[in-house]
Structure 1
Amino acid sequence: MNIHEFGKENKETILMIHPSVVKWDYFENIIPLLQKKYHLLVPALPGYDFENDSDYTSVERIASELNDWLKAEGYLELYAVYGCSMGGSIALMTALGQKIRIRHCVMDGGITPYQLPWIVTRFIALKDYLMMMIGRAGGVGLLEKAFATDDYSREDLQYVADVLRHCSRKTLWRTFDSCNNYKVPDLLPAIDTQIHYWYAKDEEKERKKDLRYMKTKFPQTQFEVLPDLGHGGLVLQKPELFVEMIEKLSV
């Protein structure tokens, strides 16, 4: 797994994990802002790395590999691990399996595992997979119709179309199957990490099950509502607000 680093001279370190159907450069607007103060670690996840011909594996495996890498590289502590959507799932599992101290875990619209019968999860994964395959085949024209009500430019949708064309069928299937069904331990490990769950006001309905899960499984979670944004919009549309929220985690 390629891990891009910025601001190496800084003391506090942040691991930033991108969502599905984008590349690591999802963070390109905030890297110049954050690297002034933080050492940034930005992995290019398997299946979404244009420099590495690989397939996506699973939420659990990627989290385990990130923890192994941090330990092997001699890191002693992370200020935070941040992940959006699929990245939020990986961020949570990274925090739960941490081999070095992680002070904050931020799930921005993070996906939590379904609490449903196994057969039902198969149908949901198949639906998500087929939607992505249709999007890949239809290209930017179809994506424009699908996202007509969202604040995405044609350039944004062309980017997504290019990523979808790069992704293998295996990557797309594993992405949605794993994000919806990864295994959180029944007996949670004792960790000294503050978990934060951020979600956009406009996605509250879509995140209903995730919010319920976090409140039940992780009652110590701190919740924050992001105004006037859709899913995954904070990094892309309000980078200055993102930086402000990261900086105040410990306040």
Structure 2
Amino acid sequence: MKFHEFGDKTNPHIMLIHGGGNAWWNYLRQARILSERYHVILPTLDGHGEEHTIPYVSTEATVDKLMDYINENCGGRIFALSGVSLGGQIVIELLSRKPDIVEKAIIDGSICYPTPYMAKFCVTTFKLTHKFLFSEKACRKQLALMPRMLPEKMLYPKELQDYYIREMPLLPRETMVSVYHTYMYYNLKESLKDTRAQVMYWYGEKEMKCVKKSAQLFKSFVPNCEIYEAKGYNHGYLALYLPEEWLEIACKFFHN
């Protein structure tokens, strides 16, 4: 696992965790703005991007490594955590490990209960389509099609397009198979109820029902959790495509 850092290390620490199949640079635009006030940490999860040669094991194994980093570099606790999709589930697991590990946490579009039928469907589909979706040629075509599919404000700038073309074709098929086998079988842990963090659980209005159900299930463990529905948006849109809107909502939460 590799860590990209932005800002003064003496400032409060914020860690932003990308989703499955993506990489640290998904949060690059947010990190640059936040670094004016915070020390921002963007991990690259095992099996992804520049860490594609290291096998991805599970949510729990990933959190073992993140806990080591936080203990060694941040004095055992940080100011804020945020993660999208798989990254959000990793945030949940971190909250379960230590009640005071963080003051503020954002979970964005994540699943936190087993969905075995969906896992089997996703694994089968990914195995069949991997080479057609993640070759360099396919990635270039996806970027070329984005202006037809998304509004202009949601398009990647050239810097992120370059990262996309360079790192997405590196994604091993085995990484996403492991992600689906672990992400979609995750169970909330009783220790989550002890967290002292202020938490927001985000999801898009157009998300799958399992994500919305996950938000309600999480709230049953953490009653003071605030649920936020991003009207008109689908999975991960704020984190991946709309950094200014993400910052507006997150910073208000962080500063309160």
Q: Which category of TM-score, normalised to the shorter sequence, fits these structures?
A: 0.7 to 0.9
TM-score, structure 1 normalization: 0.83
Secondary structure (helix, strand or coil) at the match of 2:184 reads: helix
Secondary structure (helix, strand or coil) at the match of 1:210 reads: helix
Q: Quote the residue 1:239 is aligned against.
A: 243
Where in structure 1 do 4 or more consecutive aligned residues deviate above 3 Å? 141-144, 146-150, 152-165, 186-189
Q: CA deviation at 1:99?
A: 7.7
Task: Return the match for 1:180 from 184, 187, 196.
Answer: 184
Percent of residue pairs identical? 22
Q: Distance in 1 between matches of 2:148 and 2:214?
A: 23
Aligned residue type for 1:49: G
Could you say what the CA RMSD is over the residues aligned between the two structures, in angstroms?
A: 3.1
TM-score, structure 2 normalization: 0.82
Q: Quote the residue 1:138 is aligned against.
A: 132
Aligned residue type for 1:130: T
Aligned residue type for 2:119: A
Gapped regions of structure 2 (runs ≥ 5): none
Q: CA deviation at 1:164?
A: 5.5
Q: CA deviation at 1:57?
A: 1.2
Aligned residue type for 1:135: T
Q: Distance in 2 between matches of 1:230 and 1:159?
A: 23
Task: Provide closer, same or farther for how the CA distance between residues 218 and 191 of structure 1 changes in structure 2, counting only shifts above 3 A.
Answer: closer
Task: Provide closer, same or farther for how the CA distance between residues 60 and 27 of structure 1 changes in structure 2, counting only shifts above 3 A.
Answer: same
Task: Provide closer, same or farther for how the CA distance between residues 175 and 158 of structure 1 changes in structure 2, counting only shifts above 3 A.
Answer: farther
Q: Distance in 1 between matches of 2:169 and 2:198?
A: 37
- Structure 1 residues 52-61 or 209-218, which shifts more? 209-218
Q: CA deviation at 1:6?
A: 0.5
Whether 1:201 aligns to 2:208 is no
- Structure 1 residues 13-22 or 60-69, which shifts more? 60-69
- Structure 1 residues 149-158 or 11-20, which shifts more? 149-158
Whether 1:58 aligns to 2:58 is yes
Q: Is the CA contact (8 Å cut-off) linking 1:67 and 1:99 kept in structure 2?
A: no
Aligned residue type for 1:185: K
Whether 1:219 aligns to 2:232 is no
Task: Provide closer, same or farther for how the CA distance between residues 221 and 100 of structure 1 changes in structure 2, counting only shifts above 3 A.
Answer: closer
Q: CA deviation at 1:9?
A: 4.4
